[in-house]
Structure 1
């Protein structure tokens, strides 16, 4: 996931300041560690217990994978010209690199799925996201932002209508069972996650070193968090959406929609049960009622969730950019882990498969050991050998594929922009 921009550009490309944007690496590491938290479970958190551990685990659910996809979009934008999109042969070379990465990531995700780790592997979906992003590499920030907004506004509603017509999709034995899983019924459906990817591409077309850009990104992020999570909460609780949804679900279960609305003591357990159902989604909402589209819980795949998760990703990214400037090498272990996020992600899946970590939800400090191990190993590897092992292999395969289609230009080109 950590790739360099190509060494060639276009004559009309806006010159970009060189050097790695380490704040992006730091944010990517946080996304991976957030997925550690989700995959290892609440009981793996040793530094927190009880309500605090539950709250931290809940904070990482859904938002970590959304941040991961968002930062993939940032990297795609940095690879394809950063401030100004590439064109001509340089763009074709980048497109071929993205295509090769898409194929390799999809195959790698399939191999990881064979390990039977109790994890919904995101890499196969990632490969599909890269393919869908190929036609968008020419676009600038405003157009990309408009596409992301369109996917966020329409994708969940289209998914709801299509799934309503399809009926129950059935159980999928692996992380992804086919095209329908990838598009609408899987753990990371494109109708939701492409909004994160394209929003990240829009952000990657901006000058991430600019203070003004960071302030605007943080302001937009805060507004989206309030709109997504706050708007859903307002509709579901003060305005009574949860009670109406509860009536629908009770009728589906018991054949009666009668609720003891006049008895607060009787209603509270029912509302708590409904809240648990809302919080237990895995990629999309049920189609029993359009009221489900008002929720914003993790992995609900609604417009409200997309808005809140994109807002969270913007806030995390801007905070990491600022911290990277302030702390410099003080963030080195974190940025090293983020620079080899693919290696770290694959490594944690393999370890979980070998030791069955998720089978034991009462193994305190297991999360801390996973994070500390990843930080130490990544820092040492990066210090001694540089680029991560899987990143190195993926980069070579991508360059080879690009060279077969468009031979590299031996003439010196413009200075490359910041590395993704």
Structure 2
């Protein structure tokens, strides 16, 4: 017997309809993560010739591309849950499948973490596992939980030392594989800590309960996104103005408190960053949904769509393939050697070539074999 609950009447968009815009959004999120991760991995620096647009683009992408990625994962969870519910699957079985996916992603992430310290997949696994609790929540409860987590996560700064484990010069985390270091990194002070990053997933799950095919709904989402971005920018500037006050600048503890609450930087993920990044993700999502409506059936859009559909496979590939090539080029430190950091232009140029290669692969694989290898494996293991 199918259990009834909030999930039953929550959704307005038939999940069976694939929205091309979601694949476009996944593609853009993947592009952003490649640009950011390649820059971080190589410690790329700006030169006198670095174009101003390129220099300002990377800070905007940091933390925002990954936030969009997580929000889209929440949308996928919401759509998948409703699709299963419509087929008569019980809430318990939906949670069981969701938990399997979380455990598999966590395992993938642990393997990836050995190579790349800024891995996001093991965080994904925890997000997915915790999302099982809220899987049948209605839109209001999901949004409320997300905002509560965002607002109260800074309280952890009064209990735990955010600096613990970090060498900010090298972005290395000491004791990552120790029990206390791993838990601290995963839930509090890692690159994408569960608190508050799981809020992006909850926002996505809430969005899945809206009719994303409706122009009115899209405009409201975009309006909310712009409002969040404006509020984030306003409060971030207020924070900078407060820190700049002579009497405040001398109080290091108060400066750190203001930064924890009002910084727009993803590290640490302050409420202002979370609000601003959420707003940006909403605006980009709506833009992509309309792009999908207008151009989703065009032949030139196929490489973008198929690349977005294989985001999991390509995320792993950009580390195993993309970063290994950079290591061979001497851009990343190898055992017993010193790296030769490239310029931001060089890394961006390399990123562009790598992304073109990803698109060629995605189209070819999709033509002959359909779903990506890791997407197919994840689906099979979690069945």
Scaled by the length of structure 2, the TM-score of the pair is: 0.82
- Structure 1: distance between partners of 2:315 and 2:163: 32
1:121 to 2:119 alignment: yes
Match of 2:212, SS state, is coil
- Structure 2: distance between partners of 1:211 and 1:185: 39
Pair 1:318–1:336, CA change in 2 (3 A): same
Root-mean-square deviation (CA, aligned residues, Å) is 2.9
1:324 matched to which residue of 2? 292
1:188 to 187, 192, 202: 192
2:100 matched to which residue of 1? 100
**Residue deviations 1:148-197 (CA, integer Å, cap 9, x gap):** 11111112x22212225xx7522434877422211112111111201111
| Contact 1:40-1:361 at 8 Å conserved across structures | no
How far off is 1:111 after superposition?
Answer: 1.1
- Structure 2: distance between partners of 1:175 and 1:38: 22
Pair 1:312–1:385, CA change in 2 (3 A): same
1:145 to 138, 143, 146: 143
- Structure 2: distance between partners of 1:386 and 1:230: 46
1:340 to 306, 310, 328: 310
| Contact 1:228-1:304 at 8 Å conserved across structures | yes
**Residue deviations 1:59-91 (CA, integer Å, cap 9, x gap):** 110101111111111111111117x97798432
Match of 1:178, SS state, is helix
- Structure 2: distance between partners of 1:71 and 1:375: 20
Larger Rg: 1
- Structure 1: distance between partners of 2:248 and 2:124: 33
Scaled by the length of structure 1, the TM-score of the pair is: 0.76
Which of structures 1 and 2 has the larger relative contact order (alpha carbons within 8 angstroms, sep 6+)?
1
1:170 to 2:138 alignment: no
1:294 matched to which residue of 2? 262
Match of 2:265, SS state, is coil
Pair 1:346–1:318, CA change in 2 (3 A): same
1:36 matched to which residue of 2? 34
2:371 to 368, 387, 405: 387
**Residue deviations 1:219-267 (CA, integer Å, cap 9, x gap):** 0000000111222113323xx3333553234xx8xxxxxxxxxxxxxxx
**Residue deviations 1:279-304 (CA, integer Å, cap 9, x gap):** xxxxxxxx873222221123331100
- Structure 2: distance between partners of 1:174 and 1:380: 42
Pair 1:367–1:15, CA change in 2 (3 A): closer
> Please, which runs of 5 or more residues in structure 2 have no aligned partner?
167-172, 333-340
Pair 1:143–1:107, CA change in 2 (3 A): same
Q: Which is further off, 377-386 or 336-345? A: 377-386
2:359 matched to which residue of 1? 375
- Structure 1: distance between partners of 2:74 and 2:121: 14
**Residue deviations 1:363-414 (CA, integer Å, cap 9, x gap):** 3510111111111211222222211110000000000xxxxxxxxxxxxxxx
Pair 1:181–1:322, CA change in 2 (3 A): same
Pair 1:221–1:15, CA change in 2 (3 A): closer
- Structure 2: distance between partners of 1:9 and 1:35: 39
- Structure 2: distance between partners of 1:44 and 1:395: 40
| Contact 1:218-1:315 at 8 Å conserved across structures | yes
2:155 matched to which residue of 1? 158
| Contact 2:221-2:286 at 8 Å conserved across structures | yes
